[in-house]
Amino acid sequence: MAPAGQGSGRRAAIVTGAASGIGEAISRRFVKEGIDVLSVDLRPGPDTPGVPFAADLTTREGNKAAVEAAVERFGRLDIIVPNAGFQHVAPIPEFDEDRWDALLAILLTSPFLLTKYGWQHLVDSGAGRVCVIASAHALSASPFKSGYISGKHGVLGLVKTIALEGADCGIRANAICPGYVRTPLVQAQIADQAKAHGMTEDRVVSEVMLVRQPVKQMVELDDLAEMAVFLTGPNSNSLTGMSVSMDMGWSAL
Ligand SMILES: NC(=O)c1ccc[n+]([C@@H]2O[C@H](COP(=O)([O-])OP(=O)(O)OC[C@H]3O[C@@H](n4cnc5c(N)ncnc54)[C@H](O)[C@@H]3O)[C@@H](O)[C@H]2O)c1
């Protein structure tokens, strides 16, 4: 297929974890923006925006199938938003080793594989964009989240490497590092944290979760989706290898 060329035609994106929370909000916003979106998730539902595609992104086959499906369906691939993830909360001595493997597979290896398999299409785009949804926990740690924090810290290294290797071919790679966003993932964490800390769920929110956010609010999905539109759009050409903290001041402490 002939290179699409910078800025020409309708852009095409892969958004992972698109059946819920942040990924769903970004997919919905991209569709509104006129971007073709392959919305990848384990089990996309009838409300999943864009073109739903089922894949297990902890596997090589799942990541390869997602890239192939996007290119087959849209004829191009300009944007990859690796967002799928989950959390596992346990002290290190009790941390389940299969959960550790799965966390690194989804948070670190999937973004690598999607970029690797999609690389030539991003080059052909002339304005390829990778926008990883990382976390405030990509920049600092909290107890009982060793797998998640290791995966998130690692993916910032990947983002910087993509930025360097893609610099001369129009590829720009950045990460968004949100503080707490009220999504199903966070709702589940409140219960897990309550167990790990031996506290009530209300106390976990006020004394554990938001304690490190000077602004005592969760991040809004619409604000995140707007940032993803900017970081994957034509006006972000000068931004690469960086992470944008949307964390209510967490990283200012
Ligand atoms: N919610 C927050 O407060 C918050 C804060 C910082 C970062 N994040 C990050 O944002 C991303 C999205 O989080 P969310 O809160 O929207 O979570 P969510 O649980 O609402 O959505 C995550 C989605 O990922 C999908 N997924 C999980 N494993 C998968 C797999 N193996 N293959 C395919 N899809 C899979 C799930 O099915 C789910 O639909 C995650 O990477 C998370 O770490 C979330």
Amino acid identity, position 52: P
Is the model's pLDDT at 250 over the cut of 70?
Answer: yes
Q: How far is 217 from 210, CA to CA, in rounded Å? A: 7
Is the domain of 175 the same as that of 188? no
Please write the tens of the pLDDT for every residue from 5-29: 444 689 999 999 999 999 999 999 9
Residue 160 belongs to a domain: yes
Is the domain of 149 the same as that of 210? no
Q: What is the pLDDT of residue 182?
A: 82
Output the ligand 1 site: residues, CB below 6 A.
16-17, 19-23, 41-42, 56-58, 83-86, 106, 133, 135, 178, 180-181, 183-186
Which residue's alpha carbon is nearest to atom 2 within ligand 1?
A: 181
Is the model's pLDDT at 78 over the cut of 50?
Answer: yes
Atom from ligand 1 closest to the CA of residue 43: 37
Å from CA of 41 to ligand 1 middle: 10
Residue 90 belongs to a domain: yes
% of the chain residues with pLDDT over 90: 84
Most confident among 45-49, 113-117, 213-217 (mean pLDDT): 113-117
% of the chain residues with pLDDT over 70: 97
Is the domain of 109 the same as that of 166? yes
Q: What is the pLDDT of residue 206?
A: 80
Is the domain of 87 the same as that of 194? no
Domain containing residue 82: 12-179+219-243
Residue 68 belongs to a domain: yes
Cβ–Cβ < 8 Å for 145, 89: yes
Name the band, by pLDDT with cuts 50, 70 and 90, for residue 3.
very low
Query: What mean pLDDT is predicted for residues 21-43?
Result: 98
Is the model's pLDDT at 2 over the cut of 70?
Answer: no
- The CATH number that applies at residue 112 is 3.40.50.720
Q: Is 117 a catalytic residue?
A: no
Cβ–Cβ < 8 Å for 137, 149: yes
Q: How far is 190 from 167, CA to CA, in rounded Å? A: 40
Please write the tens of the pLDDT for every residue from 100-157: 999 999 999 999 999 999 999 999 999 999 999 999 999 999 999 999 999 999 999 9
Give the number of other CB atoms < 10 A from CB of residue 151: 26
Of 40-44, 107-111, 120-124, 208-212, minimum mean pLDDT range: 208-212
Cβ–Cβ < 8 Å for 97, 89: no
Q: What is the pLDDT of residue 5?
A: 47
Is the domain of 22 the same as that of 107? yes
Name the band, by pLDDT with cuts 50, 70 and 90, for residue 190.
confident
Report DSSP letters for the chain, one per residue: -----TT-S--EEEEESTTSHHHHHHHHHHHHTT-EEEEEESS--TT--SEEEE--TTSHHHHHHHHHHHHHHHS---EEE----------GGG--HHHHHHHHIIIIIHHHHHHHHHHHHHHHHSS-EEEEE--GGGTS--TT-HHHHHHHHHHHHHHHHHHHHHGGGT-EEEEEEE--B-SHHHHHHHHHHHHHHT--HHHIIIIIIGGG-SS-SPBPHHHHHHHHHHHTSGGGTT--SEEEEESTTGGG-
Residue 248 belongs to a domain: no
Is the domain of 117 the same as that of 237? yes
Residue 134 belongs to a domain: yes
**Mean pLDDT taken over the chain:** 94
Is the model's pLDDT at 188 over the cut of 50?
Answer: yes
Q: What is the pLDDT of residue 1?
A: 35
Name the band, by pLDDT with cuts 50, 70 and 90, for residue 4.
very low
Residue 252 belongs to a domain: no
Is the domain of 117 the same as that of 191? no
Residue 41 belongs to a domain: yes
- Give the count of domains, the chain: 2
Q: Which of 148, 153, 170, 213 is catalytic?
A: 148
